[in-house]
Amino acid sequence: MTGHTSRQQMLWTVLLVWIVALIVSACGQAPAAPAPTTAPAAPAPTTAPAAPAPTTAPAAPQGAPIKVGCSLPLTGAFADTGIWVERGYRQWAEDVNAAGGLLGRPVELIIYDDESKTENAVNLLTRIITVDQVDLLCGGYPGTAAAAQMAVAEKNQMVYVSMGGHMASFSQGFTYVFGAPPLMGQWWYEGLYGWLATLPEAERPKKAAIFTINNPVGGAILEPMPEKLKALGIEIVVNERYDVPLTDAAPLVTKAKAAEADIFFANGFFPDSVQIVKAMRALDYNPKLIAQGVGSIIPAWVQELGTDGYYVFSGTAVHPSLPFEGISRLNDVAKAKYEAPVAPIYFIFGYAWMQALQRGVEGAQSLDQTAIRDWLKSNQMTTVAGTFTFDERGLPPPYNYLTQVIDGKVELIWPPDVRTKDPIYPKPAWGK
């Protein structure tokens, strides 16, 4: 019995050891099982979707919005232009927010209607700064409103990017104002002067008749003309100012024709310049060259004058055919959103002014106004309007493009590297 029992115990012991060995073996292999699942599987699938492309490209802006405020003429005499500036501002904000915001925060625009009144523009900008307590300012329109608002911005030491109010507004010692780009009457014919200088002297006009609207815009355009024309060998034979509304343009045109002026300057706005061209046609006065101030670069010029509005030269600081990054897309946006054939000039202006402000903020990596100002004054920056540096006044070097109405379109003529059509000169006969 004892031997039998001992053998049984031995068998049970062996069996128990064998079972334990199996269990231990199984337990020892357990950690090996996850290896195939965790090694190749876990990191690869989880990190791939989290790659930068999906998460950083459309990353939503976060935090409190950056408030940007201004007033614009959304009703009143300048509403047709002010609305396009506003659309440029809003397109910029839409694009910035879609790209992740400004400094990672969403942008919120606060835009009031100043009803085309300068006193409203001043009061509203003061309210925007003191009551709305915006982080940044956007510029007003037109030049008279912008010039008045520049003083408010300077008093509050806030960066103000706009068209400005011609040279006088940038000559007051202000340090927080920028024209990016500016609309400078003094520079209006820079492109024309540059192109005329390339013509052989024998082909240049010899006598100029100048008629200028009696307001700050006209005065700014006229200011450099005597010196510039003298340098080109062109004599000024008639130089007169006129008030608006212009009731009869015939006396002006008659004087120019009698003086045998072969280059005619109509330094005015759209309505008065239309009257002048109609009088030129009626009196059969056809100089070699007609140059016009603010008015002939808008679609209404050809709509009103038809072929009589052709071949007129003018100026601009931006254009939908310029080869700058973003222009083509703005043309597409204007076509899709507003059924415009190309981006209107002031749509581009509005977008460019906001881009300049954006460059300053991103360059300074701050909303501190002095830091933004200092960055803009010490760095080169690029917008849909081109590449700029700024002097102590907040102005880029003088420039303006030359345009000419050809076959109903406003074409770029000068400088030659952006030319879209060869200029037509001398001017063909009326009706040609």
How high is the pLDDT of residue 317?
A: 94
How much is the pLDDT for 156? Answer: 99
**What are the tens digits of pLDDT across the range 388-416?**
999 999 999 999 999 999 999 899 999 99
Predicted pLDDT of residue 57: 63
Rounded to the nearest 5 degrees, what angle is found at the Cα of 206, between the Cα atoms of 200 and 210? Answer: 125
Task: Give percent of the chain with pLDDT exceeding 70.
Answer: 87
Mean residue pLDDT across the chain: 88
CA distance 81 to 237: 35
Of all helices (H) and strands (E), which one includes residue 71?
Answer: strand 66-72
Residue 1 CB partners (closer than 8 Å, separation 6+): none
Residue 152 makes CB contacts below 8 A (sequence gap 6+) with 122, 125, 126, 129
Mean pLDDT of 347-354: 97
**How confident is the model at residue 51, as a pLDDT?**
36
Nearest CA-CA partner of 118 in 159, 77, 89, 57? 77
What pLDDT does residue 217 have? 83
Confirm whether 66-183+323-389 and 189-316+400-414 share one CATH topology.
yes
Domain 66-183+323-389 has CATH 3.40.50.2300: yes
Q: Residue 135: what residue type?
A: D
Contact 180, 161 (CB under 8 A): yes
pLDDT band at 244 (very low <50, low <70, confident <90, very high): confident
Specify the pLDDT at position 303: 87
State pLDDT tens for residues 38-93. 322 333 333 333 333 444 565 889 999 999 999 999 998 888 889 999 999 999 99
* pLDDT confidence of residue 20: 34
Res. 168 pLDDT band, cuts 50 70 90: confident
pLDDT at position 95 is: 98
For the chain, the distance separating the N- and C-terminal CA atoms, rounded to the nearest angstrom, is 136
Res. 422: pLDDT tops 80: yes
Asked if pLDDT for residue 215 goes beyond 60, the answer is yes
The DSSP string of 296-312 is TTSTHHHHHHGGGGTT-
Mean pLDDT within 352-356: 98
Share of the chain above pLDDT 90, in %: 75
Q: Of the segments 2-6, 28-32, 133-137, which one has the largest average pLDDT value?
A: 133-137
For residue 58, the model assigns a pLDDT of: 58
Domains of the chain, by residue range, sit at 66-183+323-389, 189-316+400-414
Kindly tell me if the per-residue pLDDT of 301 is higher than 90: no
> Contact 309/280 with Cβ under 8 angstroms?
no
* More confident site: 386 or 15: 386
DSSP secondary structure of 222-236: HTTHHHHHHHTT-EE
Answer yes or no: is pLDDT of 5 > 50: no
Give the CA angle between residues 215, 217, 220 to the nearest 5°: 110
Mean pLDDT of 414-428: 97
DSSP 67: E
pLDDT (mean) for 300-317: 94
Neighbouring residues of 233: CB distance < 8 A, sequence distance ≥ 6? 201, 204, 206
Picking from 220, 209, 300, 222, the residue whose alpha carbon sits closest to that of residue 256 is 209
pLDDT of residue 43: 30
- Helices (H), ranges, 115-249: 118-130, 143-155, 166-169, 190-196, 216-222, 225-231
pLDDT band at residue 173 under the 50/70/90 scheme: very high
Which carries the bigger pLDDT value, residue 294 or residue 139? 139
Give me the pLDDT at residue 14, please.
35
pTM, to two decimals: 0.78
Please check whether residue 108 is in contact with residue 148, taking contact to mean a CB–CB distance below 8 angstroms: no
User: Which fold does the domain 189-316+400-414 belong to in CATH?
Assistant: Rossmann fold (3.40.50)
